[in-house]
Chain A
Amino acid sequence: MAIPLRKQTNDGSIYCRPNSVEEALEVLLKLSPQEVARRSCIEDCEHPEYVPSECMLHFLRHAELAGSEDVLCDLFVVLRQRILKAVPVRKKHVFGSSKTGANSVDLEIRDAVLDKFQEMICADRIKYDERLDFYECRFNRAIDKLRATARKTAWHEAYRYVSVDSANESNDPSEEVELALKAMKSPMYAEEVDFLYRSKLRAAIISLPPDERRVIELYYVDDMSIESNDGETSTIVKILGCTEKTVRNRRDRALQKLRDALGEEDA
């Protein structure tokens, strides 16, 4: 049986790994460490011998399971690769040239995520770091948290001197943009929207300033109303603590940017 986690939930119980992770660990703990290292190189997550990142982290946290430093090093390198891949870096056109380069803000976010993870996994070697228990439960989702924090910081750093234009025009989203936004919410819509189009939309949403992105998230994905007369209902105005006009302006600016970005790509 795998070593249990220690982090407690609010009700005092201990966090449990999902069954799929426990089952994968059970299989891996019976294999030789060398075989675990070999399997960890399999990149196709549909492959029956694929090693989930949660399990790889478990071995790294309990070095004695890896048996040797060579195996531990292999796992360490592969897990770093997985983190790097979990923080995509967009390409951008180099001004005055036909070449493309990496988006510097995205690179900064990637570095920040990797550094934070490195800090935690090193600290954990000396004193059990309960935060890593979250990663042993759902690795990619815990990385989502790191990426969100890093993106917020990087965005503020990069654009702190850029003023935001107020948009007066009222923009109704095109049907295509609206459908694609819904596809972000439910797989049901996914088949109706071209995958490439969704990928472009995803890149465009990531480029939005955080305050505009949050409105899009709440309005289109969580289906929340901007304002409501019912005091009990959650509204975007209440959640974000700003006026109705501000929320509408942010939504309209965001939609205009999304339309522009998708239009540019198609041109």
Chain B
Amino acid sequence: MNLNDREVILYAFAIEPNHDRQTVERYLRQYPEIAEDLIDISSERRLREAAWVQSNDAIADPHWKEAWEQFRQHKPQGVSSGQAVSPFSTFRGQAFAKLAETLSVPRSFLTALRDGLVQASSIPERFVRRLAQTMGSSIDSLRNYFANPQASLLGRAFKSDDKPSQQGQVTFEELVQCTNMSTEQRQRLLEDCKDYGLDRGRPAEG
């Protein structure tokens, strides 16, 4: 077990809704090599909950300014530094499926957007805003990503002997019409199409 796995197990145990004997025993049986740490966490939680009086008085925090500066100076995700990073890079596997579910769109629909198969100018502003909020990304970084599909495609890994090239792009609305989805999902996305596209010029055609 590496340090990272160990830490993840300890966190998973710490946030269990119950630390009853069954839960404690289950973890102890499954991870006997970290038994001491598991017991320590259980003990910390019980002691905190059993007799904890939190004072309302502020506690001196002499280093908060340095800490804040340090936090501020760390560039948020999505801010490009040299090579553009795909906002989708951290949404893989289950996380990607969850993202699609949260947005209430089929996975294949989101895949087409991710893979640059949609004309950037046709993607409704309202949809981009919703996507940015759900992904925890900025609207600008998504705009840049959709506007430079070639760059984003080149940044991804391909298992092919041929150089990757951009396939023919479709409009957002065409994608909505040709993807299998429920009537409610389609209606909501078509509602988005009444909004302005990324070019902010005129409503997406169709």
Contacts and interface: CB of A to CB of B under 8 A. Distances in A.
A and B together in one complex: yes
A234 interface: yes
Contacts of B99: 4
Contact of A145 (B17, B35, B41, B59): B41
User: For A125, A195, A241, which residue has the most chain B Cβ atoms within 10 angstroms?
Assistant: A125
Contacts of B56: 43
Interface in B120-138: 132-136, 138
B150 interface: no
User: For B17, B51, B52, which residue has the most chain A Cβ atoms within 10 angstroms?
Assistant: B51
Contact of A6 (B13, B24, B68, B91): B91
Nearest to B103: A1
A239 B51 contact: no
Interface in A193-239: 195, 198-199, 201-202, 205-206, 210, 213-214, 217-218, 221-224, 234, 239
B72 to A, nearest CB: 7
A61 interface: yes
Interface string A103-128: 00000000000000010011101111
Contacts of A88: 52
Contacts of B14: 134, 138, 141-142, 144-145
Given A127-B77, A134-B15, A141 B90 contact: no
A152 B6 CA distance: 15
B10 interface: yes
Interface residues of A, number: 72
Given A4-B98, A14-B94, A125-B76, A62 B46 contact: no
Contacts of B54: 85
Contact of A77 (B8, B64, B90): B64
Given A118-B70, A125-B76, A217-B46, A134 B134 contact: no
Nearest to B9: A10
B53 interface: yes
Interface residues on B, range: 35 or more
Q: Is the interface of B mostly helix, strand, loop or mixed?
A: helix
B74 interface: yes
Interface string B39-74: 111111111101111111011010010011011101
Nearest to A16: B98
B51 A201 contact: yes
Contacts of B21: 222-224
Contacts of A123: 74
Given A121-B71, A239-B28, 13 more contacts: A3-B135, A64-B138, A76-B64, A125-B74, A126-B75, A127-B77, A128-B90, A131-B11, A148-B41, A152-B36, A184-B47, A198-B50, A217-B43
16 contacts: A64-B132, A76-B68, A77-B68, A81-B59, A81-B61, A125-B75, A131-B8, A134-B12, A141-B15, A148-B10, A152-B37, A214-B39, A214-B43, A222-B42, A239-B28, A241-B35
The 10 closest A-B pairs by CB, nearest first: A145-B14, A125-B74, A148-B40, A134-B11, A198-B51, A84-B59, A138-B15, A202-B51, A3-B136, A144-B44
Interface of B: 7-8, 10-17, 21, 24-25, 28-29, 32, 35-37, 39-48, 50-56, 58-59, 61, 64, 67-68, 70-72, 74-77, 90-91, 93-95, 98-99, 102, 132-136, 138
